[in-house]
Amino acid sequence: MRVLQSFPEGRATTNPYLLQLSRSLAPHVEVLGFTWRRALTGRYDVFHVHWPEILLQGRTPGRALAKRMLSRLLLARLRMCRTAVVRTVHNVRSHESAPRHDQKLLQSFDRRTTLWIRLNPFTPVPAGALKRTIPHGDYRDWYSNHVPGAPVHGRLLYFGLIRAYKGVDGLVDSFRHLDDGDASSLHIVGAPHSGELAQRLQRAAGGDPRINFVLRHASDAELADAIGAAELVVLPYAEMHNSGAVLLALSLDRPVLVPTSTVTMALAVEVGPDWVITYAGPLSAQVLTDALAHTRRTRSAPAPDLTHRRWAVGAADHVEAYGRAVQAVRSR
C-alpha cells in the first residue's frame, strides 16, 4: 500500500509527531512525503491529510492563490482516481481564521474524506462517517538519546509555539504574583506567532528577573534540557483538546499543569493523577502554588504510564484504518 502524507520530508521544523508516524509506518506501508508534483501525478492508494488548511497557505498573496488552485486540482484528482482520503483531526477547529474561499475548499476536503482518525474519543466527526480512534503517541524513543537532568527547585516551564489562545501572557502575569519562596523562575521557550505577541509577553513580564524568554524555535536538545530542568510544566491553553506538548513533557517524566477538560481528566486517569494536574477557572498565583505543592508529594509511580501511547500499536492501527478506507472506496 502506498500512502501519501500531507507533510513534506526532511524539514528540521516538521512536527516530531508526524516524523514518528512516518517512521513507524515504514515497515508496513510505503510512505511518501508530500510534494505537489507527487500529489497531482504520482500513484498512491491513500492520501493521509493533517491540518488541510496548511495546504492552502502561502507566504504571499500570489503563492496563496497558487496553493488554492493546486488544491482544487488535487481534489479533482482524488475524486477521479477514487483515492481514499484519511484525515487525522488534531483540533476541534482550526486556530486560524480562513477566508471564505478557503473555508469552501476545506469543506470540500471534508466531503472527500473517507475515514476520520481521532486522537481521543471525544473529538466530534461527521455523523455516520467511518472513524478510528488512535491515541497520540509518546516521545520516549524520539528523545531516547537525551537524558534529562535533575529538575531545578521551583522552576516552571512553558514550551511550544506561542499563540494567543495558549494563555502564555496569563501565565506570566500569574507568576509575577508568586512569592520567591513558591517558585524560583519561569522559563518561556518557543516561537511567538507574531512580533506583536512577543512584545506583549515582554511587557507582561514587567522586567521581573525571574522570567526568562527564549522566543524562537528550540532544537530537540534544547527542549530536552529545558523540560528536564523544570519542576513543573505549565500549559494554560484556553482550549486544550489534543496537545503534543503534554505528551512530550510526560515522555520526559515531568508533571504538567493543564486546564480541566474532558480530555485532560481522561489523560490524568490514564497516565496517573500525580503526573497530570488539572485546574478549573482562570490561572492564578494560587493555582501555581497548589500545583507545585502537588508535584512535591511522593508519587505513586516513578513515571507516567504511557503504555497505550506506543508507536508500534499506533502504526498497526493506522495500517488497519488505511485498509478500511481503501476497501470503502472500492466498494462504492
Q: Reduce the secondary structure of the chain to three states and give it as a string.
A: CEEEECCCCCCCCCCHHHHHHHHHHCCCCEEECCCHHHHHHCCCCEEEEECHHHHHCCCCHHHHHHHHHHHHHHHHHHHHCCCEEEEEECCCCCCCCCCHHHHHHHHHHHHHCCEEEECCCCCCCCCCCEEEECCCCCCCCCCCCCCCCCCCCCEEEEECCECHHHCHHHHHHHHHCCCCCCCCEEEEECCECCHHHHHHHHHHHCCCCCEEEECCCCCHHHHHHHHHHCCEEECCCCCCCCCHHHHHHHHCCCCEEEECCHHHHHHHHHHCCCCEEEECCCCCHHHHHHHHHHHCCCCCCCCCCCHHHCHHHHHHHHHHHHHHHHHHHHHC
> Does some domain include residue 147?
no
Residue type at 75?
L
User: Is residue 315 domain-shared with residue 290, that is, in the same domain?
Assistant: no
Q: Are 167 and 236 in contact (CB under 8 A)?
A: yes
State the CATH number of the domain containing residue 294. Answer: 3.40.50.2000
pLDDT of residue 182: 73
Residues of the chain with pLDDT under 70: 12, 93-98
Q: Are 209 and 134 in contact (CB under 8 A)?
A: no
C-alpha cell at position 177: 504574583
Maximum CA extent, the chain: 66
* Number of domains observed in the structure of the chain: 2
User: Is residue 62 domain-shared with residue 197, that is, in the same domain?
Assistant: no
pLDDT of residue 287: 96
User: Is residue 197 domain-shared with residue 218, that is, in the same domain?
Assistant: yes
User: Is residue 165 domain-shared with residue 296, that is, in the same domain?
Assistant: yes
User: Is residue 316 domain-shared with residue 301, that is, in the same domain?
Assistant: no
User: Is residue 303 domain-shared with residue 162, that is, in the same domain?
Assistant: yes
Q: Are 170 and 282 in contact (CB under 8 A)?
A: yes
> Does some domain include residue 144?
no
Q: Which residues lie closer than 8 Å to 172 by C-beta, 6 or more apart?
A: 186, 188, 201, 204, 205, 211
108-to-46, 88, 306, 322 alpha-carbon distances in Å: 17, 16, 36, 20
- Percent with pLDDT over 90 in the chain: 83
Host domain of residue 124: 2-137+310-331
pLDDT tens profile 98-140: 677 788 999 999 999 999 999 999 999 999 999 999 999 999 9
Enumerate the β-bridge partners of residue 259: 279
User: Is residue 291 domain-shared with residue 168, that is, in the same domain?
Assistant: yes
User: Is residue 27 domain-shared with residue 125, that is, in the same domain?
Assistant: yes
User: Is residue 127 domain-shared with residue 179, that is, in the same domain?
Assistant: no
User: Is residue 170 domain-shared with residue 301, that is, in the same domain?
Assistant: yes
> Does some domain include residue 188?
yes
User: Is residue 44 domain-shared with residue 121, that is, in the same domain?
Assistant: yes
pLDDT of residue 55: 93
User: Is residue 65 domain-shared with residue 107, that is, in the same domain?
Assistant: yes
> Does some domain include residue 210?
yes
